[in-house]
Structure 1
Amino acid sequence: MFTSVRSRAVAAYQRIAAETSVQSADPHQLVDLLFDALLQSISNARGAMARGDIAAKGAAIGKAVRIIEEGLKAGLNQQQGGEIAASLHQLYSYSVLRLTQANLRNDPQALEEVLHLMEPVAESWKLIKTPSPTQPTVVSSHGA
């Protein structure tokens, strides 16, 4: 099947925009991009599962698993991260297990569970942006 020139141009633009975002991102932004891609992949898997598109479901779940394993989990600093890193490692391992089960069993509830587990982590990550060297640090005086 042929794709329109517009569709090919949009796809090329999206690839270039994604590559540019990754190349110009700081480490915090890279993790943010990983979370965005993870949530999008899980949503894509849900849609593919609902449509009965097994190939697209498998590809989307495979991408989500790779993002967790090769991006989020591999980026944890187990030695300096303490309890938080250990908890995230367990959460990521459990999420990979549930994604694998979702794929094998065609289980939309497993996808939904991972989505509900990862959304708050992704949102929390967005809230902890570290200030740049040129940006002043704001100190709260609540309770002082």
Structure 2
Amino acid sequence: MTHASLKKYQQVNKSAAQEASPYQLVAMLFQKLLDNIATAKGAITQKNYAKKGTELSNAIAIIGVLEASLDFEQGGEISNNLASIYAFCSQELLAASASNDIDKLNEVAQVLIPIKSGWSDIPLESQDKVSF
């Protein structure tokens, strides 16, 4: 994870991020991203559009951090695929925000959940070898 990406995330969750490994930071980012999407869905239902905007802005920022942490040399095709997925998710989050579309938020969550699950399934002994 780049220093700039780490600093951005530390601003969001300072104490936990300072003690976390790069692997743990990415896991925390995915969880926070999905939490932001879920909270935005609730805000749309409650017609709290300011909160929806804040939550989706934060979600898009987290996607930016995840994208910035990709290592295209080490990650090759996987990094390229993730970059495409992250770009798609950002576009869909923007569209969902503009139209208050909960279905689009559900679609983005359904794209991200398997990636988060795959990340969480990396064996402990391999976590320090993970390349972004």
TM interval, shorter chain, is: 0.7 to 0.9
Please say which structure displays the higher CA radius of gyration: 1
Q: 1:105 aligns with which of 99, 106, 112?
A: 99
- The 2-side partners of 1:37 and 1:47 are apart by 15
Higher relative contact order (CA 8 A, sep 6+): 2
Alignment RMSD (CA, Å): 1.1
- AA in 1 matched with 2:52: K
- Give 1:20 shift: 2.0
- The 2-side partners of 1:116 and 1:46 are apart by 14
Alignment of 1:1-144 (within 5 A): 18-69=13-64, 71-131=65-125
The number of residues matched between the two structures is: 114
Task: Give 5+ residue unaligned stretches, structure 2.
Answer: 1-12, 127-132
Query: Scaled by the length of structure 1, what TM-score is found?
Result: 0.76
- AA in 1 matched with 2:33: L
Aligned-pair identity in percent equals 36
Structure with more of its chain in helix, by fraction: 2
Query: Scaled by the length of structure 2, what TM-score is found?
Result: 0.83
- AA in 1 matched with 2:120: K
